[in-house]
Amino acid sequence: MSGFGETLAAPAAIVSIVGFGFQCLAGCIQGFQLFSAAFQVGKQTAFYRCAIRFQEERLLLWAKRSGLVDNKLDRRLNESLINEALALLCELLTSTDNLRKRYKLDVVVGEPPPSPAPAHNSRSVQNLPFLQSNVLSRERAILLEEAKKAQNAMPFRRFRFASIDKANFQELMRNIGQLIQNLYDLLDAHIQDEIVQQLRMERSTMLQLVSDLGSLRVLIEAYNLTEVGNIPEKTLTLLRAVSLLPTPASSDEGLVSELDALMDEACQSKHASLVPLFPDRMGQTVQMGPSGLRGSVVYDGKTHYVEWKRYDWSASDEARRRTQDSIVNLAMLLNAQKHPVFRTLDCVGIIDEPRSQRYMYMYHWPVVGEQLPAPRSLHDLITSSFKPSLTDRIKLSQQLVSALFSLHLSNWMHKSFSSHNVLFFPKSPTTERTLDDPYIIGFSYSRQDVPGEPSQRLDRDPDIDVYRHPDCLEEDYAGFHKSYDLYSLGLVLFEIAKWRPIKETFLRSARVKALEAQKRAEKELTKQELRDLDQALLRECKVQDIRDMRRSLLDPTIKDNHPVDLAFRVGERFKEVILACLGDQFEKMLPTENPKVFQESFFETIWKPLEDCKI
């Protein structure tokens, strides 16, 4: 008889007091404990334990959000369906007969676990110290205490696996995952998304504790056991693997081979790694964009998208080596298999162009066609006659926020976020303009957010400078921070909301200050004089003018009153997201240097409210 069946035979008084669903939930958590303790020493034991831990985390987060962990289930949820799913899950985790017959697992039944049961960490995450977390410890303790009460009436039966067939275990994990997903499906869609992002943040924090590629392989294998296909968590794991190679340009072949193997496992197929590129096989090159640091090139007869990253070797040999390593790290980041939420192109390889003192990053062109037109930037669309719907603009905004959120979770910073660096690739010259399938480019200055990582000074470019935080343009600039990316994001969201380029707002603000200094009124100037003044203001792009623009965007007392206008155009919630990006609340976190606090604030203040915007 299964442990689950015996638990259900407990006195009715217990069921009536604590609730059937709550008791089943406690049985599930105890079942996860039994499962984790059932694995014996073996090469893949860590994979199995990690996979079980992932499923338990998902269930605990659901229980926390639904209220059931405190025996206070949200009355809006279907209690009978929840009870049914939890009962099936509990049986799946504790029925040794089911494990033998349905999943062909070699189960050996032993004595009941001692009372009190061993601490959770000592049993389920043995040899996996990077999985130890106190985030859900309260919820786990409550449910294990309840399971102990039921165990006094009818103890769970302890068991162990003498051997495990990987394919059968994978089927079991997927069935467990599906039952948990059935519980998630009873929640509102936006609540499901919130839980998934919270779980992703926790796993990102966990990844920073991993210090070797072997542990990352455990995570990748666990994801392969529990999930089908590509998921953002795999991307975060791969990007952490890239950061663990401190000197990829000069590291030994063993480490590089180990990283390639890890990427193959993540793809569950042969990973298309970086390939050697040869300048003599390059054909026509076309430069694009305001800075001239991107374009297209024909390589081996195929059109590729390219970006250039400048370098300066005037520094010391050590600084040169670190910069080379940073260049290769960036290429590996852009080459790693990524979930679509990252919205990046796939890097093929890099070419050193020493005469121009720059590296070329080559990417696959994301669409296929006979006559491929040049990509359109978001800035191009905003300054054209194209008028997308508010629905499409909100969807685009959500995609850009999710992409930057994911990039920050992987502990990388963009450093040059703007509407010039959001591209759309038409399939043909006659393709209608659309906001579908945006790609974020412009990674020339990007780097990991770790101490000592080489940070290239930003080149002055008026078209891009108007998107940069004014602190980045000061002579005594102390270094980039993720909050500066959020400021740039806020300006892009401002453009999307008003559907006009931020340059117009900058010039309007700077023009007022310039005319005040000259003691002249705008109506006194001819059209040509106004054009000349605007060109001069943009060409100089003074840091003080950028600071003044920032203040004007937040000030509800001036004539333009941007906060009120934003609310009129896109609603209060979207407006608050934009103002949060442009304000100083994220900059105030700089002294704390706590990435988890920053990411949680990003989630609660930016990602979550914008995801709730629906038309």
Please state the domain extents for the chain: 3-187, 274-611
pLDDT per residue as tens digits for the range 576-614: 999 999 999 888 877 556 777 888 899 999 998 998 888
Report the alpha-carbon distance of residue 84 to residue 86 in Å, rounded: 6
Residue among 497, 424, 423, 420 at smallest CA distance from 466 = 420
Task: Reply yes or no on whether the pLDDT at 28 is more than 80.
Answer: yes
Token output for 85: 């799913």
Token output for 57: 């985390």
pLDDT per residue as tens digits for the range 235-244: 777 777 766 6
User: Among 35-39, 165-169, 232-236, 573-577, whose mean pLDDT is lowest?
Assistant: 232-236
Q: CA 300, 326, 292, 505 torsion: positive or negative?
A: positive
Residue 294 exposure: Cα atoms within 13 Å on the Cβ side: 20
User: Among 110-124, 314-328, 330-344, 553-567, whose mean pLDDT is lowest?
Assistant: 110-124
Greater model confidence, 37 or 421: 421
pLDDT per residue as tens digits for the range 186-211: 988 878 888 888 888 887 877 777 77
Report the alpha-carbon distance of residue 368 to residue 433 in Å, rounded: 17
For 285, left (φ over 0), alpha (ψ -120 to 50), or beta? beta
Residues 6+ apart with CB under 8 A from 516: none
As a whole-number percent, the residues of the chain with pLDDT over 70 amount to 82
Torsion of CA 311, 312, 315, 320, to 10 degrees: 30
- For residues 299 and 228, is the Cβ–Cβ distance under 8 A? no
pLDDT per residue as tens digits for the range 244-264: 665 444 455 666 666 666 766
Residue among 3, 25, 126 at smallest CA distance from 70 = 25
- For residues 421 and 442, is the Cβ–Cβ distance under 8 A? yes
In terms of CATH, what superfamily is 274-611? Transferase(Phosphotransferase) domain 1 (1.10.510.10)
- Same-fold call for 3-187 versus 274-611: no
The residue count for the chain? 615
Token output for 112: 């009941």
Report the alpha-carbon distance of residue 88 to residue 84 in Å, rounded: 6
Burial class (CB in 10 A: 0-12, 13-18, 19+), 30: buried
Residue among 371, 385, 382, 389 at smallest CA distance from 426 = 371
Please list, residue by residue across 486-510, b when 16 or more beta carbons sit within 10 angstroms of its beta carbon and e when fewer do: bbbbbbbbbbbbbbebbbebbbebb
Per-residue pLDDT at 17: 41
pTM (2 decimals)?
Answer: 0.80
Residues 6+ apart with CB under 8 A from 16: none
Per-residue pLDDT at 112: 45
Helix (H) or strand (E) holding 56, with range, is helix 45-66
The DSSP output letter for 454 is -
Report the alpha-carbon distance of residue 327 to residue 314 in Å, rounded: 16
Residue among 315, 316, 278, 318 at smallest CA distance from 299 = 278
Alpha helices in 453-561 (DSSP H): 462-465, 482-498, 502-518, 527-540, 543-554
The DSSP output letter for 523 is G
Token output for 395: 């969807």
pLDDT per residue as tens digits for the range 526-560: 889 899 999 999 999 999 999 999 999 999 998 88
- For residues 605 and 490, is the Cβ–Cβ distance under 8 A? no
User: Considering the domain 3-187, what is its CATH architecture?
Assistant: Up-down Bundle (1.20)
R_g of the chain, CA atoms, integer Å: 28
- For residues 273 and 263, is the Cβ–Cβ distance under 8 A? yes
Alpha carbon distance, N-terminus to C-terminus of the chain: 53
pLDDT per residue as tens digits for the range 63-89: 988 999 888 888 889 999 999 999 999
Region 218-239 average pLDDT: 75
Give the amino acid at 138: R
Report the alpha-carbon distance of residue 392 to residue 111 in Å, rounded: 60
pLDDT per residue as tens digits for the range 428-479: 888 899 999 999 999 888 888 877 776 777 778 888 899 999 998 888 777 8
Report the alpha-carbon distance of residue 387 to residue 399 in Å, rounded: 19
Helix axes 390-409, 595-602, angle to 10 degrees: 170
Backbone angles phi, psi at 243, to 5 degrees: -70, -20
Report the alpha-carbon distance of residue 466 to residue 503 in Å, rounded: 7
- For residues 339 and 232, is the Cβ–Cβ distance under 8 A? yes
Residues 6+ apart with CB under 8 A from 337: 230, 234, 235, 238, 263, 266, 267, 271
As a whole-number percent, the residues of the chain with pLDDT over 90 amount to 32
User: Among 178-192, 217-231, 398-412, 469-483, whose mean pLDDT is lowest?
Assistant: 217-231
